Structure 1
Amino acid sequence: MKGKTQGLTGRQVEYFALGGALGSGIFLGVGQGIHIGGPSLILAYAVAGIVMYIVARCLGEMALNGNRGGSFVSYTKRYWGPRAGFVHGWGYWVCGTMVCMAELTAVGMLVHSWIPSIPQWIPALGGLLMLCFINTLRVRVFGEVEFGMALIKILALSLFLVVGVWLLFAGPTTSLPTATVNNLWTQGGFFPTGLQGFLSVLPIAAFAFGGTELICLAAAETVDPERTLPRAINGLLVRLLLFYVGTTFLIVTLVPWREVPTDGSPIVAIFERMGVRAAGAIMSVVLITVLLSACNSLMFGMARVLRALALERCAPAPFGRLNRYDTPGNAVAVSMLAISAAIALNYFIPGEVFGLLMNSIAMAVVAVWAIFVAVHLRFRRSVDDLGSLTYAAPFAPWGNLFVLLFLVAVTGILAMDATFRPAFIYVAGLFAGLFLFTLVRKPPPTVD
């Protein structure tokens, strides 16, 4: 994208990618996942991590060999057509809006539970205004802020991993009398709830890795992307598997899976069993940082996608303008206005908004990832010499087909769940509505 400065360093990009993927799922969602699938959640995270890596490699290949400086909107439009580019771009933007709304809602819920006198909508509004301001500054400033927030998450998880490994090798203690690797198979086996339980946690695992695509959206604003992007993507798989698989492994070995709490953070529960009474308060601060970091990363991506839509004549032209800091200020403002709907929802239906959003997000993430790998297949068909590709995606096209089969399976699981059925209908209606809109509007010109 012409006009944007390349200001993100390799260090910032690597932590930016981790910041987008290390969200509330690893701190809160893991408890619900263990309740449904037991230790098999470890395998679900491993499979979802491989799927995430394939998607990231597909995007990395297109970012370094396709329309340099563009976004996946331009890739979809070029290799699949104007209508597909319109649907993909706006679908992703709406999906990002819902995720940010959910993250800010969770911030409001945490602060309200901590300080009941503060209404749930006030922290959500404060967080939104702060993140909007950060995203209108120079990209290097944004990168430093996101680096700091991601570092807090990484340090918190690293501390748990170190303490957890020490506790596991130390064996059963008074505070943790059940700490043993045997918990993996003596509490009903590795698949205690059967195949159905394992399949049911796949959507939870898939949603946890949502946001990793942001690393490729940052390519146009990265210093030396040919070196930085491959290093960041390769490191992403190892780090995410370490944190997700490692954390889940330690939780189910330190505590029998049936005793893992579902209404809070299992990490906090384990520290409290050890006698660390301040764990709850400390983790609340960490969780607020986690949620704001994930929302901050997504606002960055949403603004870039909205600007790309404007440059491709799929959105009003003013959305594509840069401010004096070379960031898409108008796109940030429009995204903020859309996300602000969460403030109203938190005011009128504070007890229902989070569940409504989370169910819809899971379905939207599946749809967006499926389009990513499908577009990559079309990109590959347009390349005469595949051997000339820089940072070529491994196992293509079979890796793409594996991802599509995985996403189809996740969609089927969600569609059969009565809880997710309204969200399934909503997301299907969203993408169908966007496609129908392209039939009545004047198609944007194709990219040469």
Structure 2
Amino acid sequence: MNRFALAVSTAIARVTETALGPYQSATIRIGFSATWLLFLLREFPHRQELYGPDGPWNWNLADQLVSLNGAFSALMWSDGQFWFGTVYVLAVLSSLLLLLGWHTRAMSVLFMVGVLSLQNRSIFMGDGGDNVLHLMCIYLVFTRCGQVWSLDERRARRTREARARGEHVVGRAGPALWAALGLVLVSAAFLDKLNGDWFVPALLWTLWLAQALWWAAGRFARSGQSRIMLDVVANIVHNGALLVIMAEACLIYATAGWYKIQGSRWQDGTAVYYPLHLESFSPWPALADLLSANGVMVMLVTYGTVAVQVAFPFTLFNRRVKNVLLAAMITEHAVIAVVLGLPFFSLAMIAADSVFLPTSFLRRLGGTAARTRARLWARSAPRGGPKRHGDPKRHGNQQRPRTPARPAPPTDPESVKIPD
């Protein structure tokens, strides 16, 4: 009984004191924002037909559908060309800034608003990956996804170093961004433009007020107890959201696999054979013909897909088997992106799969990326040091030795609480 109580107390302490999976949450942040950004940039010449006034699904039809299903879309606030262009550009900018990790709390909210606004405006646009992105953009709001691999992490590190030197650092971009978003939210509420069910408007108001409470606790609270309490709540919400993302990914694969078992098309191989000969899913006809001509290959792909999707949720209890199946699914999605011409569906699924990647692999990947970036910067930097204007010994001026700054205490990157 004592061991059980000790295990429970240890688990509670770990969930409340630490935002788990900092590398995994950063990976899904980068993956989903990059997927949506690349999609918006690729469809930029066709944006008017997909989501704008020139599309076959016009604004009146979308307004009728939104009024029936209660979906949220900022594009329903106006049917003008200027407003559509503004929302589209803001969706692109929020995706880019979330990818870079600049004020991830605010950018994750804007990212969610952009995804919901465009997808709910035209519900027939997408290839299956839009459904995954639609769900994950909501879950991503509740995660602390800027702990590593972000501009927020670099700003927090520089802030700690400045405070260790005794400097007073005050951030101005965060409060200015909060005030601007608050003005938009208040204006939309005053003009009765917050359409949809109660969930999204209530979520926007809650997040806006919570950010104000977070800033006030860190700025004006004399004792650190209030900030510690808010930090504990943020960790619990983050860990719960990360668990929901993992459960959602398992549910997607489990339902897909069991539905495939029930049908005959995945038993006789036609579910793989016929899509390879459809014009809409054959960007490389020669490659599709080569794969479909091999009956053994079609059989392996058919039964292998079903087996991996059904078995994956059960392999989470074994790390090695899970990593093997995870690599198989990522490879499968990469093949789908090339052979069937569904790159954004594959990118969305790979981003969802990355929540299960081992931390050691992600750390090595981040270290490799950092070394590669350092080498590129070293090659692009001008050769030769700065020019010296005179010799200090020649003029009798000796340089005084600088007092080294007191280094900040070492911290574990997984337990650092980063103010987004």
TM-score normalised over the length of structure 1: 0.26
Q: Which has the larger radius of gyration?
A: 2
TM-score normalised over the length of structure 2: 0.27
